[in-house]
Amino acid sequence: MRFSSNLFLTTLLLISTSALAEVRLSAGSGISIIAVNGVEVKSDSLIGNNVSATLPNGISQILVNYSAEIESSGDLEIETANPHIIVLQAKDSQIQLSAPDITRLADFNEFDKGQQWKLTDSTGHTIRYKAKPLIKEGFQLSRDYAAELQRFNQSGDALSINNFASINRSSVRSSINNSASGVEINSLSSGSADSDSSMNLPERLLQYWYLKADAETRERFKTWIGNK
């Protein structure tokens, strides 16, 4: 899965001025992390499932999917839900994403609505979130998650990157509350920019992602800069 340079630059805007600090995300049984803030997460297992990822401090968007063994006519079949987009807020912590233990198809279909995830930090406290399935209509043999996520993030959806990128460009003060229709992130408002840093925000973001990249990506980036 490859993402465009425009989406990469948009992703940079997501990181708050505390970007050099990190949140460590771990996924529970049956869950695979596909992307973080519009950027593909490389596989950290032989079977291709991504079970951990690093998030910057602040608000982040993750794309995940979930598979479970569902009993059907006395047999067990593997069912995979639509990928889900989850938006959460965390800072300097280790967090765990888990799903309920599902064995019935009816329960699995209910889970696919996106409101039964559980996020907890290392102390066991619940982290609130907002989520929805990324649905592709019609017959499909396979899915291009990169293209689908890029289109979603260019939309005006409440969970799209463009909707909250401006919030993460400055320090964030937020009130995160439950609602009757699910778990939502509400009342996000921008505070003053971090004036203590000797570097400006673009410089900090570029350093952050450069240090995260592998050697091949760094060389491509330097070549791209040299041609500008």
- Percentage of residues in the chain with pLDDT exceeding 70? 65
Question: Does residue 167 surpass a pLDDT of 50?
Answer: yes
Give the DSSP letter string of 153-164.
HTS--TTSHHHH
Report the candidate in 47, 53, 51 with the shortest Cα–Cα distance to residue 31.
Answer: 51
What's the Cα-to-Cα distance from 201 to each of 16, 163, 170, 228, rounded to whole Å? Answer: 8, 19, 9, 20
pTM assigned to the model:
0.67
Question: Does residue 168 surpass a pLDDT of 50?
Answer: yes
Burial of 12 (0-12, 13-18, 19+ CB in 10 A): buried
Q: What is the mean pLDDT of the chain?
A: 74
- The residue-averaged pLDDT of 49-55 equals 86
List pLDDT tens digits, range 114-161: 889 999 999 999 999 999 999 887 766 778 888 899 899 888 888 988
d(Cα 52, Cα 41) in Å, to the nearest integer? 9
What's the Cα-to-Cα distance from 227 to each of 2, 73, 77, 224, rounded to whole Å? Answer: 21, 61, 52, 5
Report the candidate in 145, 188, 194 with the shortest Cα–Cα distance to residue 169.
Answer: 194
Q: Taking the CA of residue 223 as centre, how many other CA atoms within 13 Å lie in the half-sphere pointing to its CB?
A: 6
Question: Higher confidence at residue 213 or residue 124?
Answer: 124
Other CB atoms closer than 10 Å to residue 111's CB: what's the count? Answer: 20
Q: How confident is the model at residue 7 (pLDDT cuts 50, 70, 90)?
A: low
Report the candidate in 143, 129, 8, 140 with the shortest Cα–Cα distance to residue 65.
Answer: 143
Q: How confident is the model at residue 5 (pLDDT cuts 50, 70, 90)?
A: low
Quote the tokens at residue 64.
């995940």
